[in-house]
Amino acid sequence: MATDMQRLVGTSEDDDEEDMEMDVKEEDDDEEDDMEKHIATPPLVGVDGLIGSSSNNNRFHHPQIHEQASTPGGGARRSRPLEEKERTKLRERHRRAITARILAGLRRHGNYNLRVRADINDVIAALAREAGWVVLPDGTTFPSRSQGSKPISGTSAAVTPPSSQMVPQQASLTSLKVIASGYRSPVDYNASRMKGVYAPNSSPYDSSSRGQSQIPSALGDGGEPLDTQALIGGSVESVEAKQIVDVPSKFPECDFAGTPYIPVYVMLPLGIINVKSELVDPDGLLKQLRILKSINVDGVTVDCWWGVVEAHAPQEYNWNGYRRLFQMVHELKFKLQVMMSFHECGGNVGDDVCIPLPHWVAEIGRSNPDIFFTDREGRRNPECLSWGIDKERVLRGRTAIEVYFDYMRSFRAEFNEYFEDGLISMIGVGLGPCGELRYPSNPVKNGWRYPGIGEFQCYDQYLLKNLRKAAEARGQAFWARGPDNVGSYNSQPQETGFFCDGGDYDGYFGRFFLKWYSQVLIDHGDRVLALAKLAFDGTCIAAKLSGIYWWYRTASHAAELTAGFYNPSNRDGYAAIAAMLKKHGAALNFTCPQLHVPDQQENFSSALADPDGLAWC
């Protein structure tokens, strides 16, 4: 009798304490199940007045502690003691505190779109999506098609195959070429390379000592079983503790029928027009263009260098070399994308020629070096003109904006027939160094090397005057200066007092300065694109935006800040730029060649870089 009673009573008080450490929501669900079963089944009364329940919890209760209230169905309802309610409240507060810290860390250091009142389910879903999984609104989760698995159509419930089906499945898996016990499937291997997201070491295809598999069998769209070995499509080896995936040599062909047509343009060499505005090697160029035509390339892209066309005197333009080039392109019935390049060529990665700014601009710069961007140490950067002279008449009676507009208007007048014929399909507008909308914060000629944070470039007299006006308008005249303790070109964020976690970048002065610094960039792009839209009315215009991806996994995003992108982890710095481009109907050319380069992950980790995360934002 005692033995039967012990079985009916269930677990001991120690086990009961362990059960109470479960999540609050799970505990409440268990109680609702208890209620339903108490209604259907009367309580069992045993010795010493103990009450045994047939519920899954198998709890026992003393009549002096738990009062019972009879129900019309003959069941009993119990109430929790005060101590258990207090423990439940403490557990709930502790769980919420942990969730809040997780959310704060992910928002600050990661790149996860989490709503303001997110809970732990949102966190798990975000991590799963970052690992390449698909998470449906109802919580159903499965690998994406790119990972080699397909969801079960028509249902969201997991299907557990019978043991008779597990034998051939396990037999087919044994043919995999696996060495070492720490094997990870290709899905787990790919997931572990993304943003440091946790991925389990055990394989979902592990057929270890379990009585029945908990993994649903792979089914096709029509419910037909798929060949598991073909689904994996490769072998994995462990060589000196390194996981190596053998990628299949033959990939399935994709059917692009019905998808939008994307034209292909090939960029011509930077020095195809020399400093005398002459076409270099026209015969060789013609042969290369014919090869491009034979492979159905749609068009070519070419830079129109300000330093070549207006080289010797203001408003004296020499388009001879470009006219001959455009005639050749027109005869081959290519399309043409032309870049208005107002910067010098020769000081950056990939520059194979040297094309300086116009000579007359260099002469002005020797007498007034403040027309160029300047760093804190007073070093000038003659790569392009400072945005501080956009409205200053320091270029032989013209402002920088007027110089740019006159150049673009001359180009439109010179090649108007090609605009009317549709030969010129797009005009790219140079807005800064390398033609990109950014400050020259990382010049190699001044000693910068990757992954240095760079330096602010606002110390010419014209930008400092602009800063002084902004500080006075804010009522803080002593803010008319650059920030202190920002390090040097090759510093790291944690080595500075301004860019480190919790640094001055997020203080009152830091926010004021960075807002002003980025607004100068946006205003410059706004002015130049407005005039470009006027000069090239009816033609698509575009702007280049540089991908500053290193130190993206830090809170400050220091390299982006010095380049003019006010994009720390708690602010969207690209929304205002995108709005400005949309205002003028300009296309965005995002230049970040390091995207989707798996063999660079180790180099990226040392600089807390994340080009994919930057592009995704």
Out of 35-49, 128-142, 376-390, least confident range:
35-49
Out of 4-13, 300-309, 327-336, least confident range:
4-13
Per-position DSSP letters for 99-157, written without gaps between them: HHHHHHHHHHHS-----TT--HHHHHHHHHHHTTEEE-TTS-EEE-GGGT--PPTT--S
Which of these, 85, 92, 158, lies nearest to 119 by C-alpha position? 92
Q: Residue 617: which pLDDT band, with cuts at 50, 70 and 90? A: low
**Per-residue pLDDT at 138 exceeds 60:** yes
DSSP-assigned letter for residue 421: H
Per-residue model confidence (pLDDT) at position 234? 40
**Per-residue pLDDT at 61 exceeds 60:** no
Per-residue model confidence (pLDDT) at position 47? 37
Residues 3-23: what's their mean pLDDT? 43
Give a yes or no: residue 257 inside a domain: no
Cα–Cα dist 288/294, whole Å: 10
Give a yes or no: residue 600 inside a domain: yes
My answer on whether 52 and 194 are in the same domain is no
Rg of the chain taking only CA atoms, in angstroms? 34
Residues 516-520: what's their mean pLDDT? 98
Cα–Cα dist 217/163, whole Å: 12
My answer on whether 186 and 271 are in the same domain is no
Per-residue model confidence (pLDDT) at position 171? 38
Paired residues of 454 in beta bridges: none
My answer on whether 408 and 535 are in the same domain is yes
Q: Residue 593: which pLDDT band, with cuts at 50, 70 and 90? A: low
Kindly report, residue by residue over 322-344, the tens digit of the pLDDT.
999 999 999 999 999 999 999 99
For residues 528, 534, 539 and 544, what is the CA-based torsion angle, rounded to 10 degrees?
10
Strand positions, DSSP E, 307-398: 335-341, 372-374, 380-385
Per-residue model confidence (pLDDT) at position 81? 75
Which of these, 581, 548, 576, lies nearest to 563 by C-alpha position? 548
Per-residue model confidence (pLDDT) at position 145? 64
Per-residue model confidence (pLDDT) at position 256? 65
**Per-residue pLDDT at 80 exceeds 70:** no
More confident of the two residues 189 and 127 = 127
Per-residue model confidence (pLDDT) at position 127? 82
Write down which residue in 46, 79, 112 finishes a domain: 79
My answer on whether 548 and 580 are in the same domain is yes
**Per-residue pLDDT at 511 exceeds 90:** yes
Report how many helices (DSSP H) and strands (DSSP E) the chain contains, helices first.
Answer: 20, 17
Per-residue model confidence (pLDDT) at position 111? 60
More confident of the two residues 108 and 505 = 505
Residues 350-369: what's their mean pLDDT? 92
Per-residue model confidence (pLDDT) at position 82? 82
More confident of the two residues 13 and 566 = 566
CB 42 within 8 A of CB 74: yes
Token pair 């026992």: residue? 60
Per-residue model confidence (pLDDT) at position 605? 64
First to last CA, the chain: 68
Give a yes or no: residue 514 inside a domain: no
Per-residue model confidence (pLDDT) at position 252? 57
Per-residue model confidence (pLDDT) at position 60? 39
My answer on whether 194 and 306 are in the same domain is no
Per-residue model confidence (pLDDT) at position 130? 78
My answer on whether 16 and 70 are in the same domain is yes
My answer on whether 388 and 239 are in the same domain is no
Q: What percent of the chain has pLDDT over 70?
A: 64
Q: Label residue 20 exposed, middle or buried (CB < 10 Å: 0-12, 13-18, 19+).
A: middle
What's the domain range around 59?
2-79
Give a yes or no: residue 91 inside a domain: no
Kindly report, residue by residue over 191-217, the tens digit of the pLDDT.
333 333 333 344 333 434 343 433 333
**Per-residue pLDDT at 356 exceeds 50:** yes
Residues 6+ apart with CB under 8 A from 600: 594
Per-residue model confidence (pLDDT) at position 3? 47
Give a yes or no: residue 12 inside a domain: yes
In 10 A of CB 389, how many CB atoms?
Answer: 23
My answer on whether 370 and 286 are in the same domain is yes
**Per-residue pLDDT at 84 exceeds 50:** yes
**Per-residue pLDDT at 221 exceeds 50:** no
Per-residue model confidence (pLDDT) at position 13? 42
User: Angle 367-369-372 (CA atoms, 0-180°, nearest 5)?
Assistant: 145
| Distance, CA of 593 to chain centre | 14
Give a yes or no: residue 41 inside a domain: yes
Per-residue model confidence (pLDDT) at position 116? 64
**Per-residue pLDDT at 496 exceeds 80:** yes
**Per-residue pLDDT at 613 exceeds 80:** no
Q: Residue 140: which pLDDT band, with cuts at 50, 70 and 90? A: confident
Per-residue model confidence (pLDDT) at position 66? 42
Give a yes or no: residue 194 inside a domain: yes
**Per-residue pLDDT at 34 exceeds 70:** no
The amino acid occupying position 210 is R
Residues 556-585: what's their mean pLDDT? 94
User: What CATH number is attached to the domain comprising 337?
Assistant: 3.20.20.80
My answer on whether 319 and 432 are in the same domain is yes
The amino acid occupying position 113 is N
Residues 466-486: what's their mean pLDDT? 95
Residues 216-237: what's their mean pLDDT? 41
Q: Residue 253: which pLDDT band, with cuts at 50, 70 and 90? A: low
**Per-residue pLDDT at 228 exceeds 80:** no
My answer on whether 542 and 424 are in the same domain is yes
Question: What average pLDDT does the structure give for the chain?
Answer: 75
My answer on whether 223 and 330 are in the same domain is no
My answer on whether 285 and 179 are in the same domain is no
Per-residue model confidence (pLDDT) at position 220? 42
Which of these, 545, 590, 589, lies nearest to 564 by C-alpha position? 545
More confident of the two residues 593 and 9 = 593
Give a yes or no: residue 146 inside a domain: yes
Establish how many alpha carbons lie within 13 A of residue 305's alpha carbon, considering only the half-sphere containing its beta carbon.
26
Out of 23-27, 213-217, 369-373, 512-516, least confident range:
213-217
Q: Residue 352: which pLDDT band, with cuts at 50, 70 and 90? A: confident
Q: What percent of the chain has pLDDT over 90?
A: 49
Domain count, the chain: 3
